[in-house]
């Protein structure tokens, strides 16, 4: 695996690969890699000749009271996992490489659709930081395909909209949610869970699947379903951020005759905010 810290040297290497006719897959991450990240790499390897993984903890997408300072940085372990997965290139830039004029002067990429609901309502400015850094990384790597996990369903939908709106020549590939044995979606923030909380947090996924089955069985009182699911999560001892039944494409509240529906939930533990989702086609 070749490691790059600078945009210019990575571009030179990728230009040579393109001259050799190779297709390029890209997996952007913030590091602290776990099995779900490696599954994204493996999917990119199935699709493309060469895979680039980026590790960059993007301060622009963290709010004032969020965990940028304490976000786990495990570079040596991450590099070992990527080497074991036969990753081709790792791009690990300093902040000054991504934001050479500082973040205060940074040109922003704003996707007004779908960013002021769900996670966007709880994390103002978050998706502006995501779309800005992903657009920059796409410009740097210029991949044929980029792989994102479905666990961050809203992020996936927003990036798809950005790519469509800005006519970016990159195919967005969605990877299935990678889960623990009890159904908990893998996340870097799972490390913040206490021993007491860990056996209980599967309630988020369980509530999503309970509501999914109810819909499959004919229920269309979506608002009532949302409230019942929230009560289940609260009864388990967690604070609900949101539980929403949405149209899969635009994330607006689902209509009774929508065919593609996604149920999205977020809840707070003592030290983490966990998200998950399930989708169905009617």
Q: Is 126 assigned a ligand-binding role in the annotation?
A: no
Q: Is 162 assigned a ligand-binding role in the annotation?
A: no
Q: How many CB atoms lie within 10 A of CB 88?
A: 21
Q: Is 252 assigned a ligand-binding role in the annotation?
A: no
Q: Is 150 assigned a ligand-binding role in the annotation?
A: yes
Three-state DSSP at 226 gives helix
Helix (H) or strand (E) holding 52: strand 50-55
The span from the CA of 86 to the CA of 16, in Å, is: 19
> Which residues have a catalytic role annotated?
37
Q: Is 9 assigned a ligand-binding role in the annotation?
A: no
Q: Enter the tokens of residue 235.
A: 């009864």
- Burial grade of 139 (CB within 10 A; 0-12, 13-18, 19 or more): exposed
Q: Is 241 assigned a ligand-binding role in the annotation?
A: no
Q: Is 61 assigned a ligand-binding role in the annotation?
A: yes
Q: Is 209 assigned a ligand-binding role in the annotation?
A: no
Any idea of the CA torsion for 60, 161, 153, 275, to the nearest 10 degrees? 30
Q: Is 237 assigned a ligand-binding role in the annotation?
A: no
Cβ–Cβ < 8 Å for 245, 215: yes
Q: Is 36 assigned a ligand-binding role in the annotation?
A: yes
Q: Enter the tokens of residue 101.
A: 């004029």
Count each helix (H run) and each strand (E run) in the chain, helices first. 9, 9
Annotated binding-site residues read 30-37, 61, 149-152, 155, 186-189
Binding residues for (R)-pantoate: 61, 155
Binding-site residue ranges for ATP: 30-37, 149-152, 186-189
Residues comprising the binding site for beta-alanine?
A: 61
């Amino acid at each position: 695996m070749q490691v790059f810290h600078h945009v210019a040297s990575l571009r030179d290497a990728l230009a040579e690969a393109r001259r050799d006719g190779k297709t390029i897959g890209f997996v952007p991450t913030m590091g602290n890699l776990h099995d779900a990240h490696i599954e994204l790499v493996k999917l990119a390897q199935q699709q493309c000749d060469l895979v680039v993984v980026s590790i960059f903890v993007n301060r622009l997408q963290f709010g004032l009271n969020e965990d940028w300072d304490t976000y786990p940085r495990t570079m040596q372990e991450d590099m070992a996992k990527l080497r074991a997965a036969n990753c081709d290139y790792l791009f690990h830039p300093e902040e000054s490489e991504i934001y050479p004029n500082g973040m205060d002067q940074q040109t922003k990429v704003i996707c007004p659709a779908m960013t002021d609901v769900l996670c966007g309502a709880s994390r103002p400015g978050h998706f502006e930081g995501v779309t800005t850094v992903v657009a920059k990384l796409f410009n740097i790597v210029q991949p044929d395909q980029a792989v994102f996990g479905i666990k961050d369903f809203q992020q996936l939908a927003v990036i798809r909209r950005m790519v469509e709106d800005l006519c970016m020549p990159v195919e967005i590939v969605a990877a299935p949610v990678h889960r623990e044995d009890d159904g908990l979606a893998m996340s870097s923030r799972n490390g913040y869970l206490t021993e007491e909380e860990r056996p209980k947090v599967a309630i988020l996924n369980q509530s999503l699947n309970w509501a999914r089955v109810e819909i499959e069985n004919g229920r269309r009182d979506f608002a009532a379903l949302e409230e019942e699911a929230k009560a289940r999560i609260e009864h388990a001892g967690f604070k609900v951020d949101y539980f929403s039944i949405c149209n899969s494409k635009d994330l607006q509240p689902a209509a009774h005759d929508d065919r593609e529906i996604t149920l999205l939930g977020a809840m707070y533990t003592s030290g983490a905010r966990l998200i998950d989702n399930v989708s169905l086609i009617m």
